[in-house]
Amino acid sequence: MLFMFSGSALFAQQKKIVQFSGLIYAQGVDITVPYVTIRNISYADQTFFGTHEGYFSFVAHVGDTIEFSSVGYEKQFFIIPNSSSDKYTAHVEMKSLVTELPEVTVGPPFPYASIEEFNLAFMALNLSEDDIMLAKRNLSSQAISSLALIMPRSAGEIYSQGMGQRHINMSNKAINQNFANPLLNPFAWGSLIDKIKRGDFSRQKLKY
């Protein structure tokens, strides 16, 4: 029993807690690797992530095996060494994966039977028009008029036309209402004057 307790105490001393920090670089170049997945294999597979600048920092134990993985890079393993301080900073380098593609032999360009025939056809191309000339031709009034005949109206155009027609209808309605006002009607004023001359509004007639 005494031997078992002594072994446990020694193991606890070896597994000292440290603040493990560092930067992750691509091997051979001074470029950081962002968002690297960091896994502590020795401690319940705890998972951490590096920042967009390749920086990481988390709590681990001395002797833990740390796995660094990222898309396009080989996995790297790092064992946290023992040190006198409770902090340890590492410079981790990850090796880029290089995938070699199989060799491809280019044959005669389709649909031409030989390279010579392709060269003759290529030399006969008319490449006098550059991008600016093509843009001017596509934006000409004739081209836009032709497209306007076949292209449907957009939602914005339909909305603008509808709002314009509504504004015209409201304006016409307001004008008709103004003319319907008897105070603005010259015939109504003439009829009123005739009634005053005849005495239709005299007190005796109003009385009876």
Whether residues 113 and 208 fall in one domain: yes
Whether residues 108 and 197 fall in one domain: yes
Average pLDDT over residues 5-22: 68
Whether residues 41 and 110 fall in one domain: no
pTM as predicted: 0.44
**What's the pLDDT at 49?**
95
Average pLDDT over residues 161-177: 79
Domain boundary among 76, 94, 112: 94
Whether residues 90 and 163 fall in one domain: no
| Domain assignment of residue 7, yes or no | no
Whether residues 107 and 131 fall in one domain: yes
Whether residues 168 and 198 fall in one domain: yes
Average pLDDT over residues 27-38: 92
Whether residues 207 and 129 fall in one domain: yes
Structural domain including 150 reads: 101-208
More confident residue, 108 or 87: 87
In Å, what is the CA distance from 145 to each residue of 34, 106, 131, 141? 52, 45, 21, 6
Task: Give the residues across from 67 on adjacent strands.
Answer: 39, 77
| Domain assignment of residue 37, yes or no | yes
Per DSSP, which regions of 27-150 are E strands?
Answer: 37-40, 46-49, 55-61, 65-69, 76-79, 87-94
**What's the pLDDT at 12?**
46
Residue 74's closest CA among 90, 92, 89, 50? 92
* Res. 142 pLDDT band, cuts 50 70 90: confident
| Domain assignment of residue 3, yes or no | no
Report the domain count for the chain: 2
More confident residue, 4 or 89: 89
| Domain assignment of residue 8, yes or no | no
Distance CA 58, CA 19 (A): 6
| Residues 6+ positions from 15 with CB-CB distance below 8 Å | 61, 62, 63
Residue with tokens 């446990």: 8
